[in-house]
Amino acid sequence: MGLTGIQIYKLLPQTNCKECGEPTCLAFAMKLAAGKADISLCPYVSEDAKAKLSEATAPPIREFTIGTGTNAVKVGGETVMFRHEKTFFNPTPVAVMIKDTESDDVVASKLERIKSICFERVGKKLCVDMVALKNESGDKAKFMTLLEKASAIDKPMIIMTDNLETLKESAEKYKDKRPILYAATSANADEVAKIASATGLPVVAKGNGLDEVSSVTAKLASAGIKDIAIDSSAKNIKDAVKDNVFARRASIKQKIKEVGYPTFVVVNEITQDPMLEAVIAAGLISQYAGIVVISDPDPAKILPITVSRMNVFTDPQRPMVVEQGIYPINNPDENSPVIITVNFALTYFIVSAEIEASRVPCWLMIMDTEGLSVLTAWSAGKFVADAMAAYVKKTDITQKVKHRKIIIPGYVAQLSGEFQEELGEGWEVQIGPREAADLPKFLKMWKL
Amino acid sequence: MAFKEPVEKYNNSITEVSISDLKVGGQSVLTGIYSFDGPVPNPPKIAMEVLDVKPEEWPQTLVDAVGDVYDDPVKWALKCQNEFKADMICLSLVSTDPNGMNRSAEEAAKTAKAVLDAINIPLIVYGSLNSEKDGEVMKAVGEACHGKVILLGPADDENYRTVGGASLGYQHKVAAASPIDVNLAKQLNILLGNLGVPLESIVIDPTTGGLGYGIEYTFSVMQRIRLAALAQGDDKLKSPFINMIGKEAWKAREAKISESEEPSFGNLATRGILWEAITAINLLIAGSDIMVLRHPESVKLVRSFMNEFFK
Ligand code: SF4
In angstroms, the CA A118 to CA B278 distance is 19
Measured between alpha carbons, how far is residue A69 from residues A154, A179, A262, A301, B18 in Å?
9, 12, 21, 26, 56
Under a CB-based contact definition with an 8 Å cutoff, are residues B124 and B47 in contact? Answer: yes
Q: Which residue is closest in CA terms to ligand 1's atom 6?
A: A20
In angstroms, the CA A23 to CA A26 distance is 8
Under a CB-based contact definition with an 8 Å cutoff, are residues A429 and A346 in contact? Answer: no
Under a CB-based contact definition with an 8 Å cutoff, are residues A177 and A157 in contact? Answer: yes
Where along chain A do the CATH 3.40.50.11600 domains lie?
325-444
pLDDT confidence of B218, banded at 50, 70, 90? very high
Rounded to 5 degrees, what are φ and ψ at B119?
Answer: -95, 160
Distance A63 CA to ligand 1 centre (A): 29
Residue in A14, A18, A32, A53 to alter for ligand 1 test, most ligand atoms within 8 A of Cβ: A18
- Is A29 near ligand 1, meaning CB less than 6 Å away? no
What would the pLDDT profile of B90-145 be if each residue is shown by its tens digit? 999 999 999 889 999 999 999 999 999 999 999 999 999 999 999 999 999 999 99
Residue in A9, A10, A11, A16 to alter for ligand 1 test, most ligand atoms within 8 A of Cβ: A16
ipTM of the complex: 0.97
- As a whole number, mean pLDDT of residues B154-166 equals 97
pLDDT of residue A123: 79
Q: Which helix (H) or strand (E) holds A132?
A: strand A130-134
Q: Which residue is closest in CA terms to ligand 1's atom 7?
A: A25
Residue A266 has what DSSP assignment? E
In angstroms, the CA A154 to CA A142 distance is 20
Under a CB-based contact definition with an 8 Å cutoff, are residues A131 and A150 in contact? Answer: yes
In angstroms, the CA A110 to CA A85 distance is 39
What would the pLDDT profile of A296-333 be if each residue is shown by its tens digit? 999 999 999 999 999 999 999 887 888 999 999 999 99
Residue in A with minimal Cα distance to B252? A353
Under a CB-based contact definition with an 8 Å cutoff, are residues A61 and A251 in contact? Answer: yes
At A364, is the secondary structure helix, strand, or coil?
strand
- Is A37 near ligand 1, meaning CB less than 6 Å away? no
Q: What is the mean pLDDT of chain B?
A: 96
Measured between alpha carbons, how far is residue A230 from residues A168, A261, A344, B64 in Å?
20, 6, 37, 43
- As a whole number, mean pLDDT of residues B36-41 equals 97
- Is A255 near ligand 1, meaning CB less than 6 Å away? no
Cβ contact A316–B220 (<8 Å): yes
At A99, is the secondary structure helix, strand, or coil?
strand
| pLDDT at A161 exceeding the cut of 60 | yes
Domains present along chain B, CATH in parentheses: 17-306 (3.20.20.20)
Where along chain A do the CATH 1.10.15.40 domains lie?
5-57
Nearest-by-Cβ selection for B266 from A299, A346, A353: A299
What would the pLDDT profile of A330-373 be if each residue is shown by its tens digit? 999 999 999 999 999 889 988 998 998 889 999 999 999 998 88
Residue in A with minimal Cα distance to B1? A215
Q: Which of B223, B274, B304, B306 to mutate to test the interface with A (most CBs of A within 10 A)?
A: B274
In angstroms, the CA B277 to CA B302 distance is 6
In angstroms, the CA A341 to CA A324 distance is 10
| pLDDT at B26 exceeding the cut of 70 | yes
Cβ contact B212–A350 (<8 Å): no
Indicate the fold that domain A325-444 takes in CATH: Rossmann fold (3.40.50)
Which residues are within 8 A (CB) of A99 and not within 5 positions of it... i.e. 6 or more apart?
A: A134, A136, A137
At A230, is the secondary structure helix, strand, or coil?
strand
Distance A43 CA to ligand 1 centre (A): 7
| pLDDT at B44 exceeding the cut of 60 | yes
Q: Provide, for chain A, the percentages of residues in helix, strand and coil under a 3-state DSSP scheme, each rounded to the nearest 5.
A: 45, 15, 35
The whole-angstrom distance between B166's CA and the closest CA on chain A is 27
Cβ contact A119–B1 (<8 Å): no
- Is A22 near ligand 1, meaning CB less than 6 Å away? yes
pLDDT of residue B280: 98
Q: Which residue is closest in CA terms to ligand 1's atom 2?
A: A42
Cβ contact B35–A312 (<8 Å): no
Where along chain A do the CATH 3.20.20.20 domains lie?
64-312
Cα A34 versus chain centre, distance: 26
- Please give the angle made by the CA atoms of A308, A310 and A314, to the nearest 5 degrees: 125
- Is A13 near ligand 1, meaning CB less than 6 Å away? yes
Q: What CATH number does the domain located at A64-312 have?
A: 3.20.20.20
In angstroms, the CA B77 to CA A53 distance is 63
In angstroms, the CA B123 to CA B48 distance is 10
- Is A21 near ligand 1, meaning CB less than 6 Å away? no
List, in sequence order, every residue forming a beta bridge with A126; answer none if it has no partner. A119
Closest CA to B210 of B281, B263, B295: B281
Which residues are within 8 A (CB) of A304 and not within 5 positions of it... i.e. 6 or more apart?
A: A278, A282, B211, B254, B271, B274, B275, B278
List CB contacts (< 8 A) between A316 and chain B: 216, 220
- Is A359 near ligand 1, meaning CB less than 6 Å away? no
Which residues are within 8 A (CB) of A422 and not within 5 positions of it... i.e. 6 or more apart?
A: A385, A386, A388, A389, A390
Nearest-by-Cβ selection for B277 from A279, A346, A438: A279
Distance A14 CA to ligand 1 centre (A): 7
What would the pLDDT profile of A200-244 be if each residue is shown by its tens digit? 999 999 999 999 999 999 999 999 999 999 999 999 999 999 999
- Is A11 near ligand 1, meaning CB less than 6 Å away? no
Choose which CATH entry (3.40.50.2300, 1.10.760.10, 1.10.15.40, 3.40.50.720) describes domain A5-57: 1.10.15.40
HEC string of chain B equals: CCCCCCCCCCCCCCCCEEECCEEECCCCCCCCCCCCCCCCCCCCEEEEEEECCCCCCCCHHHHHHHCCCCCCHHHHHHHHHHCCCCCEEEEECHHHCCCCCCCCHHHHHHHHHHHHHHCCCCEEEECCCCHHHHHHHHHHHHHHCCCCCCEEEEECCCCHHHHHHHHHHHCCEEEEECCCCHHHHHHHHHHHHHHCCCHHHEEEECCCCECCEEHHHHHHHHHHHHHHHHCCCCHHHCCCEEEEHHHHHCCCHHHHCCCCCCHHHCCHHHHHHHHHHHHHHHHHHHCCCEEEECCHHHHHHHHHHHHHHHC
